[in-house]
Structure 1
Amino acid sequence: MTTSKSNPPASDQHSESTTSETTTIRRLPWTYFHLVLTSSFEITSTSTVAEIDILTARTYLTSALQQFFGITGTAIPVDFLKVEGKDVWIRVPRDDSAIVMSALSGWIGREGVTWRIKGKSEWLGSLVSGDGSHLFEA
């Protein structure tokens, strides 16, 4: 005995079909920081931090990492993306971002300079252009 499947009549078939696609964003390999070099004495005096260059920024950053984590901290690869005035944008491996954040937030250098973390993100675009909240302001 054989059975055969017959196609349903053309009137029963729907030409409309929905297709959904999913995209998975894997763990991103980098974390981006926007740092500002400030002076811990700015509140009580009129002295301010002058503009810095990339060598000074690297020296201060390396000092912070070494002070808190020794030679292990200085082995963390840090890419300087931009230095402008007192603002510095860096990129570090995602797995080391917690170490970098804790070292920078607790460090006070000579002359009372400190790092202030202005922003941290896994997406450079959101760090540079903000979170988009300005689009909803009236």
Structure 2
Amino acid sequence: MTEAMDLDPHPRSSLPKTKKSLPLTTLTLPPSTFSYAHLTLLSPSTVQLDPLQLKSYLTSALSQFLGQTGTAIPIDILSVSSSSAWVRLPRPDLAAFSAAIAAFPGISSGRERIVLKVEAAGDYLGALISRSKDGDDIWGP
């Protein structure tokens, strides 16, 4: 019983197998046909924003900045809360819309001036909602 014990593993005669990598998969999102904007009401008093008042404000801003071309931009009001709103409009019109809202001096309601601010705007609603503090405004609690 004086046999020598072989503790070392036998060397492999072939090279170690290389791991096959997974094929890369890419996905390109098609350009969106619509853009979305998150608007916030800036007012010193407790004026409540409603859909009719918002539509009036947007129509005034667009007609003053762009004339008849501005009033022809179709705008869908998605959600309105007391101090903010979400709207949808055609993608090519987003820059003109944002400029019109930013340049509009506001509407006077008695002695107070009501002004809307564009909080965020972009082509993908999900990305805008995740950036906003009040994403529950559009999806609900």
Q: Would the TM-score normalized by the shorter structure come out above 0.5?
A: yes
- Aligned residue number for residue 40 of structure 2: 36
- Aligned residue number for residue 27 of structure 2: 23
How far off its partner does 1:16 sit?
A: 3.4
Contact 1:37 1:49 in 2 (8 A): no
- Aligned residue number for residue 128 of structure 1: 129
- Aligned residue number for residue 56 of structure 1: 53
How far off its partner does 1:15 sit?
A: 8.3
Q: Which has the larger radius of gyration?
A: 2
- Aligned residue number for residue 62 of structure 2: 65
Q: Which amino acid counterpart does residue 35 of structure 1 have in structure 2?
A: L
- Aligned residue number for residue 74 of structure 2: 77
User: Equivalents in 2 of 1:129, 1:23: separation in Å?
Assistant: 21
Q: Which amino acid counterpart does residue 122 of structure 2 have in structure 1?
A: S
- Aligned residue number for residue 100 of structure 1: 97
Segments of 5+ residues of structure 1 without an aligned counterpart are: 1-12, 40-46, 132-138
User: Equivalents in 2 of 1:125, 1:15: separation in Å?
Assistant: 38
Contact 2:106 2:116 in 1 (8 A): no
| Count of residues in correspondence between the two structures | 113
How far off its partner does 1:17 sit?
A: 5.2
Contact 2:35 2:94 in 1 (8 A): yes
Q: Percent identity?
A: 36
What do residues 58-80 of structure 1 show as CA deviations (whole Å, max 9, x unaligned)? 00000000001111100001010
* Larger displacement relative to structure 2 (84-93 or 106-115): 106-115
* Larger displacement relative to structure 2 (89-98 or 116-125): 116-125
User: Equivalents in 2 of 1:114, 1:17: separation in Å?
Assistant: 56
TM-score, with normalisation over the residues of structure 1?
0.73
